[in-house]
Structure 1
Amino acid sequence: MSVRGIGGRRWQRLSVVSVILCVNFMWFLFLRMTPSDETDPSDLQTKYPLLWNHVHTSRTSGGAFYIPPAWQSSSEEVPETVLDAARLAQRLANVSSDRSIAYSEIPLIIHQTWKNTRIDTWTKATRDMVESWLQYAVETPMAYIMWDDDGVMQFMEEFEPEFVPKFNALTRNVERSDIFRILVPKHIGGIYGDLDTHPLRPPATWIEPKDLLPWEDTETGVVYSSKQPVRAIFGIEADCPPDSDSYWRMGYTNPVQLTQWALAAAPGHPVLSRFMERLNVQLDSVASRHSGDLTCPEAQKELHELDPLLLTGPDAVTKAVQSWFNETVGLRWNALTGLHDGGKSKLVDDVMILPITGFSPGRGRYGNMGSKPIDDHDARLQHLAQGSWRSFNLQVEFGKFCRTFFGLCRDWPKV
């Protein structure tokens, strides 16, 4: 084979890459130049009555809330802060078992967070999805808490005062959001869902008798059977054969990886504490190299260079749950795959692991990993992957292309 032939193919590949990158860049510019949704504010009350009544017009400090009237007595005082509303919802949810997800001790309290409660500044897609959460809250009934940025800080100062300096030292808002979604069920309990998630069935029905059945790790022969009430729910985001390269070519760090755009837990579940323990170790390690000061320029630079997917994102959640399972029941992690049993839920101790269809249904042919359509009964929630926290980065986009098509660039940054 001639050197000229090798060089020719190399230039052909580079030409293809260049064309694709140019197309991506032009599409990015088009999206940036496209006008944002401009719904007439006068239409919002008609189109989104629940959002208008319970969120947009809220005068609650720190966010907004809805607590079912059937839960409350006439003597209940109206909460003035979102923190007080969350405490009230927690107390009222404990009154009766029908205020929990079936077969669980997880209270029917929905938590979401955004920078403000002004729905006229939200996108139409966000309004549609949050309205659907509120619809389920009213119909089930469930409590609903919307935490704005001020409410998140109220929460942190109340429940995690010693962690607040580290929380504030983080260089990305998405990392703070990742941490909050772990801490709010840890202290209040309930269901967390990103604003770009859409519930497909009432959360009260997310667990059924079939989900509680014993299951076997076919590689080790160990049978997992638990009679405990479920106290935490996680869903699978990636489900790939562990001996293949498909998972990292799609940008995942584990063959079986959990998502954290939605999760649920009873207050005080130890797996949530395990997440925080691991995070504290990593942050303390950075601080130790900078005289304990995470706010100095050098520490800030080191923190910013950390991959948020690994520090606080899906990989961090996966590693925390994996560590907990290994310590408590000795689980072989990849036994959680749904590739060989049609995608069944798996109860491990008191933690329910939903198959990929649970929180990630309707995936396309590429990267399907056993995901069934959104109208499948096993689909609890749909994630629309708006990724409002992401920004365009040419190196990241090239790395994605390089991994997908060439099986290279495995360790390139993903965000």
Structure 2
Amino acid sequence: MLPFRRAIVFAVFFITAFILIRRAHTPSAPNPIRRPPPRPSTPNRDGDNALHNAPPTSDLEHADVGDHREKPAPGQKADLDLSKLSLYDKLAYQYPYDIETKFPAYIWQTWRSTPEDDEFDFRDEEGSWTYYHPGFVHEVITDQVAVHLLRLLYAPIPEILEAYDALPEPVLKADFFRYLILLARGGIYSDIDTYALKSASDWLPDTVPQKSIGLVIGIEADPDRPDWKDWYSRRIQFCQWTIQAKPGHPVLRDIVSRITAETLKRKKEGTFITKEKSIVEFTGPAIWTDTIFDYLNDSRYFNMKRSAGKITYQNFTGMTKPKKVGDVVVLPITSFSPGVQQMGAKDYDDPMAFVKHDFEGTWKPESERHIGEVQ
């Protein structure tokens, strides 16, 4: 039997080789990948028609926010000194965003063991993603492999690795990893306790061109009640247990930059999780939601002078169909949270139900799991 350290090295080598081979020889799949060489980011060439003054359709609603315009990435010069760039621009240089590429055919999940291990407890959940996505590269990444994979992807940006290593809790690392892997490689991230109910190729109407979308997210909570603050961190909360993205998307750059800066600050101070900065706020759905709203109202990417107003929770509360805002598609609560029997979510057999989440809360102590249950 191989020593543990050598086994880890071999695992990283084979995963890297497998991904590179699949990228070079992608089989037929619902969303085949062919990632072009890095180049400066490009604006949304679909122009204004997808973003303002567009009549709603039966399949997709539109929000009026002006035209989307991607900030060009730093020049692609071989002698560029990354140390002189901000972290955000380093990420833009390392992983530029090209909206015209297809969504990569990757599925990323994380757990302490892989499906090949006897103690793996999520075979049905993991198998549902493979069943509905034949031809996709589907990886369940363990903690040990994640470390080596991130060192491979983010070697030119050491502060990212320093921040990841400094996070004191597995749940913080798991949150950070999902953003990091999607930023670098794109595709779909979904928690290990989720079931795929439909293929990702069915998540959006056929009338929506992939070249106009770079990020697909779902609503986790829409608590239309006076005491919503007692139960949720935000009035509209976007879930991060399932995310689909193209590599380099600005939302991913931003949240990686925020978490890195906050982590290194707290490392220096010697403080991490406090009552004021919970896990939800630090790396979870609260900061994820804030980052998305900040992006949708960012004049670097949208012509806010032509906007009908600031994008807020009011643009998404009570929605029952997908809504496109710039290059982001927001799915209704039923899509990633069917069967919760509240906040307007419909059942698992609804046409808009795409992912079933078991809410295992696997990162919590046993007494605090199953957050959907009434105690």
What is the TM-score of this pair, normalised by structure 2? 0.69
Q: Which amino acid aligns with 1:134?
A: T
User: Within 5 A, what are the aligned runs for 1:302-321?
Assistant: 302-305=271-274, 306-321=277-292
- Select 1:381's aligned residue among 331, 355, 362: 355
Counterparts in 2 of 1:145 and 1:376: CA distance versus 1, 3 Å: same
Q: Secondary structure at the match of 1:122?
A: coil
Aligned to 2:62: none
The answer to whether the Cα contact below 8 Å between 2:334 and 2:346 also exists between their aligned partners in 1 is yes
The answer to whether the Cα contact below 8 Å between 1:338 and 1:356 also exists between their aligned partners in 2 is no
Aligned to 1:263: 243
Q: Which amino acid aligns with 1:384?
A: D
Aligned to 2:66: none
Q: Secondary structure at the match of 2:124?
A: helix
What CA RMSD, in Å, does the superposition of the two structures yield over aligned residues? 3.2
- Select 2:129's aligned residue among 98, 112, 133: 133
Aligned to 2:22: 89
Aligned to 1:55: none
Q: Secondary structure at the match of 1:120?
A: coil
Q: Which amino acid aligns with 1:119?
A: D
Aligned to 1:238: 221
Report how far residue 195 of structure 1 moved. Answer: 0.7
- Select 2:230's aligned residue among 228, 233, 249: 249
What is the count of residue pairs matched by the alignment? 289
The answer to whether the Cα contact below 8 Å between 1:119 and 1:127 also exists between their aligned partners in 2 is no
Q: Which amino acid aligns with 1:239?
A: D
Q: Secondary structure at the match of 1:191?
A: strand
User: Within 5 A, what are the aligned runs for 1:16-415?
Assistant: 61-62=10-11, 80-93=13-26, 98-99=31-32, 105-117=102-114, 118-123=116-121, 126-138=122-134, 141-161=135-155, 162=158, 163-209=160-206, 212=208, 228-241=211-224, 244-250=225-231, 252-289=232-269, 299=270, 302-305=271-274, 306-327=277-298, 328-329=301-302, 330=304, 331-339=310-318, 341=319, 343-364=320-341, 368-391=342-365
Matches of 1:208 and 1:256, distance apart in 2? 23
- Structure 2 unaligned residues grouped into runs of 5+: 1-6, 34-99, 305-309
Matches of 2:24 and 2:240, distance apart in 1? 26
Report how far residue 86 of structure 1 moved. Answer: 2.7
The answer to whether the Cα contact below 8 Å between 2:103 and 2:210 also exists between their aligned partners in 1 is no
Q: Which amino acid aligns with 1:127?
A: R
Report how far residue 227 of structure 1 moved. Answer: 9.0
Report how far residue 62 of structure 1 moved. Answer: 3.5
Counterparts in 2 of 1:369 and 1:92: CA distance versus 1, 3 Å: farther
Matches of 1:351 and 1:227, distance apart in 2? 11
Counterparts in 2 of 1:379 and 1:132: CA distance versus 1, 3 Å: same
Counterparts in 2 of 1:119 and 1:95: CA distance versus 1, 3 Å: closer
Report how far residue 104 of structure 1 moved. Answer: 7.5
What is the TM-score of this pair, normalised by structure 1? 0.63
Report how far residue 354 of structure 1 moved. Answer: 0.7
- Larger Rg computed on CA atoms: 1
Matches of 2:9 and 2:125, distance apart in 1? 22
Matches of 1:376 and 1:60, distance apart in 2? 45
Q: Secondary structure at the match of 2:212?
A: coil
The answer to whether the Cα contact below 8 Å between 1:336 and 1:346 also exists between their aligned partners in 2 is no
Matches of 1:136 and 1:60, distance apart in 2? 31
Structure in which a larger fraction of residues adopt helix:
1
Q: Secondary structure at the match of 2:118?
A: helix
The answer to whether the Cα contact below 8 Å between 1:231 and 1:351 also exists between their aligned partners in 2 is yes
Report how far residue 233 of structure 1 moved. Answer: 0.8
Aligned to 2:67: none
The answer to whether the Cα contact below 8 Å between 2:31 and 2:102 also exists between their aligned partners in 1 is no
Matches of 1:267 and 1:228, distance apart in 2? 13
Report how far residue 150 of structure 1 moved. Answer: 2.4
Percent identity of equivalent pairs: 25
Report how far residue 248 of structure 1 moved. Answer: 2.1
The answer to whether the Cα contact below 8 Å between 1:237 and 1:259 also exists between their aligned partners in 2 is yes
Q: Which amino acid aligns with 1:303?
A: F
Summarize deviations over 1:156-214 as a string: whole Å, max 9, x none.
1012231212211111001111111111111111001111000000112211146x4xx
Q: Which amino acid aligns with 1:337?
A: F
Answer 1 or 2: higher relative contact order, Cα 8 Å, separation at least 6.
2
- Structure 1 unaligned residues grouped into runs of 5+: 1-57, 64-79, 213-225, 290-298, 406-415
The answer to whether the Cα contact below 8 Å between 2:30 and 2:201 also exists between their aligned partners in 1 is no
